Amino acid sequence: METPVPETFNELSDAELQALVETLTAEFDQKYEGDTVASVEELAEIAEAIDLVRSESTRRFDQAQADQLIRTELAERIRPVADESEHEAVEVEVEAEAVAAAEQILAEVQEPVAVASAPVSAAATGRNTSKISAPPTESSNVTITAAADIPGISSGSQLDRMGLARAFSARSRGLADHSPRVGVASVDTGIPEEHFVRDGGASASQVMETVVASSLRGKDAGALVASGGFCTPSENMYELFSIESREGLLDLPTMGVSRGGINIPSYIGLSDVAGSLWTWTETTDITPGESVKACLQVPCPTWTDYRLIAEGLCLTAGNFMDKSYPEMLARTTDLAMTAHMHRVSAAHIAAIVAGATAVTVTSIPSDAAGDILSAVDLQVADYRSTFTMSPNAVLEAVFPTWVRGAIRSMLALRAGIGYFDVSDDDVTRFFTIRGVRPQFMTGQDPITTGTALTAWPATTTFLLYPAGGYVAGDGGTIDLGVVRDSTLNATNDFTLAWTEQFMLTAQRGPAARSVTVTTAVDGQTGGPEFVGA
């Protein structure tokens, strides 16, 4: 590691800590993306150093907030507030649960995509660590800029997740009646400038190639039993149960769209230039008849205008609930944001399915593992052949999440073969050795029926398309805000969370294939077929 990190941070100011993080991050990026591949140990050392500096910044921030609360309490003891108006922002204490509610709004843009990496021992790095940070992704470049008129926060200042949470709470409680929607912050999703299509800049095709290349780089509970009589009521457990996941979301190369949309030319392949080819023999030359040497005029492509659409959410809450049950606000906000993320992913998938070519593979008497992998092999070979692709070209395949379980179950049922320890990584490897990058999506061919299943689905459908054949467009920012208006105030309510995200899905290459195949999970496999007696 080239950047020196002091043993203690006592003599460094907050600004110097931030500068140190930026310097270490730049060194990490240079070693991670440079021409010479750095070792895992080098990257792990830098990543740990960044974590240490960030932890110190967080500790200082939390300590400053705690000190401010103590100062406020002491001031109220000396100069107690005589009256608190309903519409005055005099409350300085921020409940931890309310902070968590607003904090969840950022989860979509601040949870980086997981990157698999080998564990690094403390001995290898020379430091006390049990894990390393994943390589930085575009989502790690998210910046949050505070809006104006937020008590205790300067307009235009940069916020972290905790700062945004406090900004939501401070702004919502300080709004008066008849207030329109008031901005709290603007979130820049961190799409690099070179990934935007702008007037006078790189062409759309150049931006798309950059985006695609970037996307492919590296790629007890226990039961409580009452005993005796306590003569007191039960204590409420206010924390709410949560099991929803934000995994299983479609991963597409994403480019920034600075205007209302982007025009994409249609795919031009070998079949489109077939009319330019001819054969001329000696016989034809002697007796040409009506034979001519064909010449194809270069065709104009068909342009498709992909326009941004807005996906958002809005939650309202009661003032009394905000005060008395912030856990419910936190839980609902988290659910809404999770639903929003899955909705955006499903919208991308639906756009690809709408233009895909439907294919049904005739299965042989085999099982889910054999049928699915055989169908993948067949479609990959045919797709590459149809479009004259390289034998090593990567294709993307989008499966429902349960396919891994069906394959694993089928292997476990095979008689005489001990396939009882097949992991998710093993299943993924079954596809990667076939030149396919699999994605296992929730919401794609779901098995949810409302009742408990007693058998695996009889068929499944997966998408297959070339890497980079589809791209996502992003407006670049996600607007966050709270609202107080006279209508809601009349019922003692306010808008807890409001967000709007602009997106599109564009097709660049040949149409995807939507492939349907049987998925029998019964222990029976293909075998020799005997004909006759």
The pLDDT tens digits of the residues spanning 128-152 come to 333 333 333 334 466 777 776 677 7
Rounded Cα distance, 97 and 380, in Å: 50
Which candidate, 126, 256, 273, 113, places its Cα nearest to that of 192?
256
Rounded Cα distance, 340 and 357, in Å: 28
Angle at the Cα of 293 from the Cα atoms of 287 and 297, rounded to 5 degrees: 160
Give the pLDDT mean for 502-514.
Answer: 93
Tens-place pLDDT, residues 434-478:
999 999 987 655 555 567 778 888 889 999 999 999 999 988 766
Contact criterion met (CB below 8 Å) for 498 and 313: yes
Residues 6 or more apart whose Cβ sits within 8 Å of residue 490? none
- Top mean-pLDDT range of 115-124, 197-206, 256-265: 256-265
Q: Residue 37 carries which DSSP code?
A: P
Tens-place pLDDT, residues 206-263:
777 777 767 666 554 344 344 556 676 777 777 777 777 777 788 888 888 887 888 8
With b meaning 16 or more CB within 10 Å and e meaning fewer, what string describes 146-184? bbeebeebeeeeebebbbbbbbbbbbbbbbeeebeebbb
Give the pLDDT mean for 481-498.
Answer: 66
Q: Which two tokens stand for residue 391?
A: 């034998």
Element (H, E) at 328: helix 326-354
* Cβ neighbours, 10 Å, residue 294: 10
Beta bridge partners of 472: 254, 505
Which amino acid would we find at residue 270? L
- What does the DSSP assignment read for 110-154? HSPPP-------HHHHTS--S--PPPP-GGGG-EEEE-SSBTTB-
Task: State the first-to-last Cα distance of the chain, in angstroms, to the nearest integer.
Answer: 75
What are the E-state strand segments in 235-294? 254-257, 261-265
pLDDT of the residue at 386: 92
Element (H, E) at 287: none
Tell whether the model's pLDDT for residue 92 goes beyond 60.
no
Average pLDDT value for the chain: 74
Report pTM: 0.57
Give the pLDDT mean for 404-433.
Answer: 84
Give the pLDDT mean for 297-313.
Answer: 87
pLDDT of the residue at 514: 95
Residues belonging to the chain: 533
